[in-house]
Structure 1
Amino acid sequence: MADKDQIKAEMIQKIQEYIITKGFANLKMEDIAKIMTVSRAKLYQYFSSKEEVIAAVVAKYVNFIKTVKVPTELDERETFIKGFPDFFYQNVALWGTATDLFIDELNKNYPNLYLYISTQLKERNRQIEVFFEAGKNKGVFYKHLNSKLLILQDRVMITKLINRNYLFENGLNHEQALKDYFLLLVSEIFVPELSEEVMKIDMHERIQHFAIKFNRIY
């Protein structure tokens, strides 16, 4: 039998998958209970209010941001080569679920929760800038790279590449689009003598995992 923490985690997962595509502004507690496939009585055993539900979703995002750190051991060129696929994987996981719709509704309805998650995102962006600047100094990345624009590009592109309508209109699917975007990033960021080495890293299993997940949610 599942324990209380596992049951709660499953409830949060169900509501998260709903609100990232449809939003939460108009949801009432009875709606949330239906989405979580539990009774209202069961819902209130775990959450006393809608804000508490949304706070739990935000806490899940923040925990992810804190757990999957941007590479910080930046003394060796090998660190950038081996660490970049993980870095890409984390960005897809983050921006594939922290949608603009979710972030915008947080800002409008729960500014305290918006501030909490935006503070963590800003810190992650700061770490990413350090990562890119160190790579430029090591001769791993192109010297002309603008780290702030790369961060913005990732957010915009990943958001587009999980949008089923956009993919359909352009004859794409999640798996191929994410694979091609990874290769595009590598050629855009790494100097030529290293880009081929990064492109040889097998990303199939990870990208397929996201393709299955995004096909189910979106």
Structure 2
Amino acid sequence: MRKIEPELREEMKKTYVGKLMNVIRIKGFNSLKIQDMAKYMQISKASLYNYFSSKEEIIQEITQTYIVYFEEVDQAILNNELTYIDRFQKVFEQEVLTFIYISELFLEELKVGFPDLYDGIISARRKRKENIRQFYEVGLKEGVFNELNPSIFIVQDEVMLRKLLDPAFLLAEGLTIKQVLKDYYQAKKIQVFKADKLTTMNDDSKIMEKIEYLTRKLSNSYS
């Protein structure tokens, strides 16, 4: 095994597992052998072992990637120095990315094969929901959000994204991923923010850029 500097090793590990995430979302990981993983990473099996000692380490790296992402975004959601609209957009982006990458199949296989990793990701998801709830509750108290139960907001994303981004639904309704994401974002913004607050939130350029990015991610995940 050739010597690789620690920082470069970590960077390359993240790059390689990133190439696997969509495959594992669709196929799970139980059916994948180490040579299959190397193929999807676009490296040789020998090169894979320069970065990972086993299939188990790869699964651990993917799970940790999800957990770190949750924690980073949660810090932004609870950052009072950011505007409510910026944090609202972070919640929206995170919910879509979670839908893209963390499939029920992945979680089922993780629960059976790697219960400790499963507990870790479930704990991170639970904490994320608590942080989102706190964000909505503070917004309600400060008169920024409409008087709705935060639990409705949280569950709504899980249910609606699963339905709206179902390829069969998109095809039947003649809708594009981009249009669905734009319309759902606008509908939710109107639902969450009080009308008088919306007048100061006309610039959606940042979230539109994110929606372009999310559209590409989703399109690739369906291909």
TM-score normalised to structure 1 length: 0.88
* Matched residue type, 1:148: S
User: What is aligned with 1:107?
Assistant: 111
Alignment match, 1:210: 214
State the match for 1:34 in structure 2: 39
- Aligned partner (choices 142, 158, 162) of residue 161 of structure 2: 158
1:11-54 CA-partner distances (Å, limit 9, x unpaired): 10111121112211221212212222222222222222222111
**Residue 171 in 1 paired to residue 171 in 2?**
no
What is the match of residue 185 of structure 1? 188
- Tell me if structure 2 keeps the 8 A contact 1:140–1:194: yes
Report the CA distance between 1:73 and its aligned residue: 4.5
Residues in 1 aligned to 2:202 and 2:167: alpha-carbon distance in whole angstroms = 26
Is 1:87 matched with 2:95? no
Q: Could you say what secondary structure the match of 1:68 adopts? A: helix
Q: Kindly report structure 1 stretches of 4+ aligned residues shifted beyond 4 Å.
A: none
Q: Percent identity?
A: 33
Choose 121-130 or 36-45, whichever is displaced more. Answer: 36-45
Aligned-pair Cα RMSD in Å:
2.2
Deviation at 1:162, TM superposition (A): 3.7
- Given candidates 64, 67, 70, the residue that maps to 1:65 is 70
- Of 148-157 and 192-201, more deviation after overlay is shown by 192-201
Q: Is the counterpart of residue 133 in structure 1 residue 137 in structure 2? A: yes
Instruction: Tell me the residue number matched to 1:52.
Output: 57
3-state DSSP of counterpart to 2:43: coil
Query: Using a 3 Å threshold, how does the CA distance of structure 1 residues 92 and 199 change in structure 2: closer, same or farther?
Result: farther
Q: Take 1:94 and 1:198, find their aligned partners in 2: how far apart are those partners?
A: 25
User: What TM-score do you get using the length of structure 2 for normalisation?
Assistant: 0.86
Contact 2:146–2:193 under 8 Å retained in 1: yes
Cα distance 1:109–1:208, how it changes in 2: closer, same or farther (>3 A)?
Answer: same
2:137 is paired with a residue of what secondary structure? helix
CA 1:26–1:73 in structure 2 vs 1: closer, same or farther (change >3 Å)?
closer
Q: Which runs of 5+ in 1 are unaligned?
A: none
Contact 1:186 1:199 in 2 (8 A): no
Q: Secondary structure at the match of 2:50?
A: helix
